[in-house]
Amino acid sequence: MMTDPIADMLTRIRNAVCIERPIVEMPHSKVKRGVAEVLKREGYIWDWREENATDIPGTQLCIDLKYGPNGERVIRHIKRVSKPGRRVYSRATDLRPILNGLGISIISTSRGVVSDREARQKNLGGEVLCELW
């Protein structure tokens, strides 16, 4: 049994980026799909898709990672903020830009998973899932 599936997703992405894999696969959930959609909208990955694996029960989430023209990493740092032992919530007014706007926070709100920019724009607060740049 996995205690923190979001941390598992972020670790899989971090490990895949370190060894420059083009695709990373993980078990599917609605929150992971939301995180993948935010990463795509913000330009950190090319695309994501859901696949039914023949050897593994359930649906798999496949993420196509993005690299620069010379192989440089687009995702340099990815960190879980709100953990099962210490949840971190933030209001829209308390959300500050990451690295002066070069990075993003991913927020789980009542209207779905959004980036910190979208949350400030829509005046939404929620649980801060992770930071990345």
What residue ranges define each of the domains in the chain, with the CATH number in brackets? 5-132 (3.30.1490.10)
Residues 76-82 have a mean pLDDT of 97
Q: Read off the pLDDT of residues 43-63 as tens digits, 9 standing for 90 and up.
A: 999 999 999 977 778 899 999
Residues 5-24 have a mean pLDDT of 97
**Residue 1 pLDDT:** 66
Maximum alpha-carbon separation in the chain: 46
Residue 109 has pLDDT above 80, yes or no: yes
Residues 76-104 have a mean pLDDT of 95
Which tokens go with 23? 């695709």
Q: Which amino acid is at 121?
A: Q
Which tokens go with 69? 């023209």
Cα–Cα distance, 45 to 32 (Å, whole number): 14
**Residue 57 pLDDT:** 83
101 vs 129, which has greater pLDDT? 129
Q: Do residues 63 and 21 lie in contact, with contact meaning Cβ atoms separated by under 8 Å?
A: no
- Comparing CA positions, the residue from 86, 5, 74, 10 lying closest to residue 45 is 74
Q: Which amino acid is at 3?
A: T
**Residue 53 pLDDT:** 77
Contacts of 101 (CB under 8 A, 6+ apart): none
